[in-house]
Amino acid sequence: MTWTETHDRYRLLNEAEETLRSDPTCSLPWSPAYAAVFGTPDRLAQTLRHRWRTRFQAQLDPALPPADYEANFADLLADLAPLMGRIGTHEFREELAEVSS
């Protein structure tokens, strides 16, 4: 993947996430630009899911005291779960609980 392709991919991911965050009625955004980079809506959804799962893992510190860990987990879940539900990923809570174990 070239630098230009990588830059376009991240720009479109940021754009898709911003659309989902700014419009609570929006499901997965789709356009010819997304098709050119991701191929299918499923691939875009999979890429967003991977991005959010990685973000979740990176921000969840297992060294925190249990109460703080649970609060952090709840905050991250509250931020990401609505986005995941709108792109068709409803088992996100269970998946993240497994990741955080």
> If you write DSSP's letter for every residue of 20-78 in order, what string do you get?
HHH-TT--S---HHHHHHHSSHHHHHHHHHHHHHHHHHHH--TTS-HHHHHHHHHHHHH
| C-alpha to C-alpha distance for 28 and 85, rounded to whole angstroms | 10
Closest CA to 29 of 12, 4, 51, 46: 12
In the chain, what is the straight-line distance between the N-terminal and C-terminal CA atoms, in Å?
A: 34
- At 101 the pLDDT is 58
pLDDT score, position 84 = 84
Residue ranges making up the domain that contains 36: 3-100
Give the pLDDT confidence score for residue 98 in this predicted structure. Answer: 64
- Given a cut of 50, the residues of the chain with pLDDT beneath it are none
Give the pLDDT of residue 90.
57
Number of folded domains that form the chain: 1
Q: What is the pLDDT of residue 58?
A: 87
